[in-house]
Amino acid sequence: MPVKVIIPTPLRQYAGKQDAVEVNAKTVGEALASITSQYGDLRKHLYTEEGKLRSFVNIYINDEDIRYLKKEQTPLNDNDVISIVPSIAGGTALRCICS
């Protein structure tokens, strides 16, 4: 069944500069396996060396976080949309110069 996987801007350079990829998959895990087999450089940004999804990578299916569903075993339906959302952290502290 065809599903669309949205590739976030910071990861597009590892996915042939595409903003989305369409794959046939029955589960979220199958969809991610499909895109990481097509784009090998993308795998190290999504998975640890042990093969686990990195903690700072959030996956949504139709705006629902898969952590609250069946994680990578979450089943897919035709035309579902999977979004890869890397967490953003860091930044600089703001300083206040008061007079």
Range of the domain at 41: 2-86
Whether 17 is covered by a domain: the verdict is: yes
Distance, CA of 47 to CA of 43 (rounded, Å): 6
* CATH number of the domain residue 47 falls in: 3.10.20.30
Whether 22 is covered by a domain: the verdict is: yes
Whether 71 is covered by a domain: the verdict is: yes
User: Over its length of 99 residues, how does the chain's per-residue pLDDT go in tens digits?
Assistant: 789 999 999 999 999 999 999 999 999 999 999 999 999 999 999 998 998 998 889 999 998 999 999 999 999 999 899 999 988 665 555 554 554
Residue 45, CA atoms < 13 Å, CB-side half-sphere? 20
Tokens encoding 64: 């629902």
Distance, CA of 87 to CA of 43 (rounded, Å): 16
pLDDT reported for residue 89: 61
Whether 27 is covered by a domain: the verdict is: yes
pLDDT reported for residue 87: 81
Q: DSSP secondary structure string, 45-61?
A: HHB-TTSPBPTTEEEEE
Whether 82 is covered by a domain: the verdict is: yes
Whether 29 is covered by a domain: the verdict is: yes
Number of domains making up the chain: 1
DSSP character at residue 30: H
Whether 42 is covered by a domain: the verdict is: yes
Ramachandran assignment for 91, one of left (phi > 0), alpha (psi -120 to 50 degrees), beta (any other): left
